[in-house]
């Protein structure tokens, strides 16, 4: 069998080699440079798993504990490595368990190729055991999906899948393979990567006139302001972006998915946008004269009330996805294209400037925010531990070099606000979908995607309990993930809203936790729990020093709130500091 495997790359149309559909799937992975698969076997995908048995030295398979964990791990892998995540699941429930992760990857533009098993083609539509119409279920949450019923299609379809997932605006692709196609022997003629699909244009054509108009606007601007998103990271355009803002002297603020594209201590990095973002970037969105949006999509959590959003400003919108242009906010100059290409063209045309006074305006707001919010959050003198001081202590110990994976809720906002990052692809979070339970499996994947880097998952007590079955994956795969639970004994973000907008009617937000230290111990993972700030740094250091996975639970203030906050239905300039 081994000898046979080696020869497969020599297959050509003239000299085909007979193999099974399952082998063709794995050959495609090898040709695409896949090294890790996250998956869970089951009846309808058994032929692929059988073939995988012979590929175990070439393809690492991580057995997860639930398919949702598998796909989130695939997402974490993709986000930390910049490559396409690969996931296996069986038909029926295995496939439907992928749906949350697909929706998350679709809205956060994460490249994934998911393979699901399907019942024999002759059983399609008969309500066969573990049959579900996964193609139609996943159509709204995939960039592309396809059902294979004949093994001959497999090489081309997988080539298309990898091409579509990773190019243009990336996204998840699902390939559903009927069991007969997995078993079917066919004449394999070799694997050819896909580089063109006539109906699919990953990059819109760049129009030079728009670049020129954009540059003219920037050059005339007195108060230009850059807001950037994940497009900079997905386009691998961090260096181009930095060169652009540095030459034109532009203050730049990020969406949470754009975080880490520009180092947090860069002098022109003025902070975070949106509902729990920084004071200056939100207020000054409604004061700037030219707003330059790079690879971001004006989510409602970023814009607040749309009819009061940056009405005074001229808008330049750089995006690779034409559907994003004018979707939420009307642009003055739409710069369609890959920002890897458009940013340098723009940089070449903009004047070298400093905008010192304008940049100082941001600092004035930072000072106010510092006094009213940040100092208390990061350096509280007494009382319960705050989430902010945990993140701040972590910053000191990691120097901003760790990958931080966050779940969803208060801890996510605090971590994004205060975590320091030196390197791109370091902040991994569920932004668009807001999927609680994302962080633990995503952190596992992130570690496989960037094995040389420290991965710290910051998770709330609610989110941790949604996917804690993946502790089993950590145990078995012996992957080193640092789990930092910020436990406030509440579903904190919902509680905060109930406090602020529902007269403190705390409806079902009081959540109990197991003894996490005992829990991880059962999985052979070391853990610790602290509630006294004098132990904080030491406990964090111990967590970071651990070679293996480690869980640290920090008891934080039960009813602490995240501020500043743009209340729903308000304009970004109505942001509240308390």
Partner 1 sequence: MKQEYTITVYTENQVGLLNRIAIIFSRRKINIESLNVSPSEAEGIHRFTIVISEFEEVVRKLCRQIERQVEVLKAYFNTGDEIVWQELALYKVPTDEVAEKLQVERLLREFGARAVVIRKDYTIFETTGHREETDKLLAVLAPYGLIEFVRSARVAIIKASNGFHEKLKEFEAVEPASELIENEFLNKQAEVFSM
List the beta strands (DSSP E) in 213-300.
224-228, 252-254, 269-272, 290-294
Which of 27, 131, 153, 238 is in the footprint of partner 1 by CB under 8 A?
A: 238
- Sign, CA dihedral 217-219-223-226, equals positive
* Whole-number CA gyration radius for the chain: 25
185: left (phi over 0), alpha (psi -120 to 50) or beta: beta
Choose the catalytic residue: 129, 193, 311, 518: 129
Q: Is 475 a catalytic residue?
A: no
Check residue 345 for interaction with partner 1 (CB under 8 A).
Answer: yes
Alpha-carbon distance of 100 to 80, in angstroms, equals 20
Alpha-carbon distance of 287 to 433, in angstroms, equals 30
Question: Which region, judged by CB under 8 A, interacts with partner 1, from 220-228, 309-317, 336-344, 557-565?
Answer: 336-344
Which of 30, 35, 200, 567 is in the footprint of partner 1 by CB under 8 A?
A: 200
Of residues 217 through 236, those in contact with partner 1 by CB under 8 A are 236
Q: Is 130 a catalytic residue?
A: yes
Task: Give the three-class secondary structure for 462.
Answer: helix
Question: Which region, judged by CB under 8 A, interacts with partner 1, from 287-295, 339-347, 458-466, 526-534?
Answer: 339-347
Q: Is 129 a catalytic residue?
A: yes
Of residues 106 through 135, those in contact with partner 1 by CB under 8 A are 135
Check residue 208 for interaction with partner 1 (CB under 8 A).
Answer: yes
Residues that bind partner 1 (rule: CB under 8 A) add up to a total of: 42
Shorter beta-carbon distance to partner 1: residue 109 or 430: 109
Alpha-carbon distance of 68 to 114, in angstroms, equals 12
Choose the catalytic residue: 58, 130, 246, 370: 130
Write the interaction track for partner 1 spanning residues 419-438; mark x where CB under 8 A is met and - where it is not: ---xxxx-------------
DSSP 437: T
Q: Is 27 a catalytic residue?
A: no
Q: Which two tokens stand for residue 574?
A: 């109505």
Check residue 206 for interaction with partner 1 (CB under 8 A).
Answer: yes
Q: Give the contacts of 323 (CB within 8 A, at least 6 positions apart).
A: none
Which of 35, 58, 63, 82 is in the footprint of partner 1 by CB under 8 A?
A: 82
Which of 43, 190, 249, 344 is in the footprint of partner 1 by CB under 8 A?
A: 344
Shorter beta-carbon distance to partner 1: residue 56 or 452: 452
Check residue 57 for interaction with partner 1 (CB under 8 A).
Answer: no
Of residues 132 through 191, those in contact with partner 1 by CB under 8 A are 135-136, 139-140, 143-147, 164
According to DSSP H, which parts of 43-138 are helical?
A: 46-52, 67-81, 93-96, 99-107, 134-138
Q: Are 175 and 114 in contact (CB under 8 A)?
A: yes
Cα dihedral 167, 173, 179, 180 in deg (nearest 10): -50
Active site (catalytic) residues: 67, 129-130, 179, 493
Q: Report the interface residues with partner 1, using CB under 8 A.
A: 82, 135-136, 139-140, 143-147, 164, 195-201, 203, 205-206, 208, 236-240, 263, 321-323, 325-327, 340-341, 344-345, 422-425
């Amino acid at each position: 069998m081994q000898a046979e495997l080696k020869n497969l790359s020599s297959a050509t149309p003239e000299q085909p080699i007979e193999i099974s559909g399952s082998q063709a799937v794995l050959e495609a992975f090898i040709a695409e440079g896949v090294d890790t698969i996250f998956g869970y076997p089951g009846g309808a995908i058994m032929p692929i798993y059988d073939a995988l048995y012979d590929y175990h030295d070439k393809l690492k398979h991580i057995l997860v504990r639930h398919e949702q964990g598998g796909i989130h791990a695939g997402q974490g892998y993709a986000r930390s490595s910049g490559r396409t995540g690969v996931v296996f699941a069986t038909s029926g429930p295995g496939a439907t368990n992928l749906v949350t992760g697909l929706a998350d990857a679709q809205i956060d533009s994460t490249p994934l190729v998911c393979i699901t098993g399907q019942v024999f083609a002759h059983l399609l539509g008969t309500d066969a055991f573990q049959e579900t119409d996964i193609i139609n279920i996943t159509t709204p949450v995939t960039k592309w999906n396809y059902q294979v019923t004949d093994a001959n299609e497999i090489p081309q379809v997988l080539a298309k899948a990898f091409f579509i997932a990773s190019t243009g605006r990336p996204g998840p692709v699902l390939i559903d393979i009927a069991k007969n196609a997995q078993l079917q022997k066919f004449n394999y003629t070799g694997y050819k990567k896909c580089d063109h699909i006539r109906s699919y244009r990953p990059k819109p054509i760049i129009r030079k006139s728009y670049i020129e108009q954009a540059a003219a606007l920037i050059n005339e601007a007195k108060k230009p302001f850059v807001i950037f998103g994940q497009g900079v990271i997905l386009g691998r355009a961090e260096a181009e972006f930095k060169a652009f803002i540095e030459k034109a002297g532009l203050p730049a603020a990020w969406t949470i998915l754009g975080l880490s594209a520009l180092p947090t201590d860069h002098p022109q990095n003025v902070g975070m946008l949106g509902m729990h973002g920084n004071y200056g970037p939100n207020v000054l969105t409604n004061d700037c004269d030219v707003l330059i949006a790079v690879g971001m999509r004006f989510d409602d959590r970023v814009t607040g009330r749309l009819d009061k959003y940056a009405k005074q400003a001229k808008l330049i919108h750089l995006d690779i996805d034409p559907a994003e242009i004018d979707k939420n906010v009307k642009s003055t100059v739409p710069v369609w294209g890959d920002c890897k290409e458009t940013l340098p063209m723009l940089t070449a045309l903009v004047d070298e400037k400093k905008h010192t006074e304008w940049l100082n305006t941001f600092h004035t707001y930072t000072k106010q925010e510092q006094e009213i919010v940040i100092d208390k959050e990061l350096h509280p003198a007494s009382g319960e531990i705050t989430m902010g001081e945990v993140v701040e202590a972590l910053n000191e110990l990691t120097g901003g070099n760790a990958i931080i994976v966050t779940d969803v809720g208060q801890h996510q906002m605090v971590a994004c606000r205060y975590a320091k990052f030196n390197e791109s692809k370091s902040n991994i979070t569920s932004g668009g979908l807001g999927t609680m339970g994302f962080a633990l499996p995503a952190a596992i994947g992130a570690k496989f995607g960037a094995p040389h880097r420290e991965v710290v998952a910051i998770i709330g007590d609610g989110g941790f309990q949604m996917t804690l079955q993946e502790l089993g994956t950590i145990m078995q795969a012996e992957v080193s993930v640092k789990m930092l639970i910020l436990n406030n004994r509440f579903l904190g973000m919902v509680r905060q809203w109930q406090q602020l907008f529902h007269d403190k009617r705390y409806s079902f937000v009081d959540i109990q936790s197991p003894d996490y230290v005992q829990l991880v111990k059962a999985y052979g993972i070391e853990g610790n729990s602290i509630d006294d700030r004098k132990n904080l740094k030491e406990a964090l250091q111990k967590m970071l020093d651990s070679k293996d996975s480690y869980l640290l639970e920090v008891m934080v203030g039960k009813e602490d709130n995240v501020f500043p906050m743009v209340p729903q239905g308000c304009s970004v300039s109505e942001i509240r500091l308390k």
